[in-house]
Amino acid sequence: MTSNAGADVDVVCLGESMVTFVPSAPGRLADVPSFARTIGGAESNVACALAAAGHRAKWVGRVGTDGFGEHLVEAIAAYGVDTSAVARDPERPTGVYFRTATDRATSDHEVVYYRAGSAASAMSPETVPWETVGGGRVLHLSGITAALSEDCLALMRELVGGRPGRPLVSFDVNHRAGLWRDGRGPEVLLGLVRGADVVFVGEDEAEEAWGVVGPDAVRELLPEPAVLVVKRGGDGAVAFERGAATRTAVPATRTAVPAPRVDVVAPVGAGDAFAAGFLSATLRGLGVKERLRHGHLMAAAALTVPGDLAVPARRSHADRLAALSDDAWGRLRLGPGWTGDHQEVRTP
């Protein structure tokens, strides 16, 4: 498998992006008086974060020929993302959704999707040619796309297949039980991630989907990916890595890196930002410990702003923090504004 080192694009991200309506105040959706319009989509979030970090990122998706679709493409392009391959569907609408201000992991969180029959659900091997997605160094996917339609699932299976010369395939599990009304999500996702090269999965979602507890149990279930990252929220992340030349069941390394303490403004967007930080460091050829730290730093940037997306710290600033000793890293505390050039990082 080649890394497409000479590609004009660093990362191609494929998936549905939707117009998101975020509440003007806390509370139930039934009680929120008004909403502000923004954008949301796991894969486009990663593309935007990577572009903001200085990488050549491309988003491939499908939107309706409506005002929401126009807004999405313009907003994502404003981050410096290449949107030239986004298709417009005159017969299907752009998806939208509404959410509450609470953490997605809490029982109080509400989200209502209006995405059934959306333009993105018409993505398929026929509507998304390989030439559109296969030209980057990395192809980033997520499990959300597979749940949109049978055509989308067929596309995902083709993209994680063993096509000669494919780029490095990155896959964020993003298990959303509510999208899999037939209950087959865990089985489908398990098959998809086993074909990927780099896999991101939350410890909690692995337990929910597959009934496995702890990073080592996840690795035992998923020996195939060359790199498996198990995210543990505030407890950090664990990466399992082996040599790329073979696909054996024995991991070469197990690296755990704690997350810095963060003064959270809004608990959304951190997972996508973590993937972007990790992939950014991967593209730069950094070691696994540094990749995990850059993932944490990009996640901290997202957690300390109100929306899903944040401008990351300058590369020199992030590199300085990622190079700290273990003791100094353990004392980091990141709050709003920490990514600014002159913002001091507080330690206790």
- 202: CB partners within 8 A, 6+ apart: 173, 230, 231, 232, 233, 271
HSE, CB side, 13 Å, CA atoms: give it for residue 209. Answer: 26
Query: How far apart, in whole angstroms, are the C-alpha atoms of residue 157 and residue 161?
Result: 6
DSSP string, 58-74: EEE-EEESSHHHHHHHH
Bridge partners (DSSP) listed for residue 262? 334
Residue matched to tokens 């997202």: 302
CB 241 within 8 A of CB 76: no
Q: Which of 272, 308, 319, 326 is catalytic?
A: 272
Here the contacts of 326-333 (C-beta below 8 Å, separation 24 or greater) are: 329/258, 329/260, 329/293, 330/258, 332/260, 332/261, 333/260, 333/261, 333/262, 333/263
Q: Cα–Cα distance between 303 and 336 in angstroms, integer? A: 9
Could you confirm whether 172 is annotated as catalytic?
Answer: no
Q: Catalytic residue positions?
A: 272
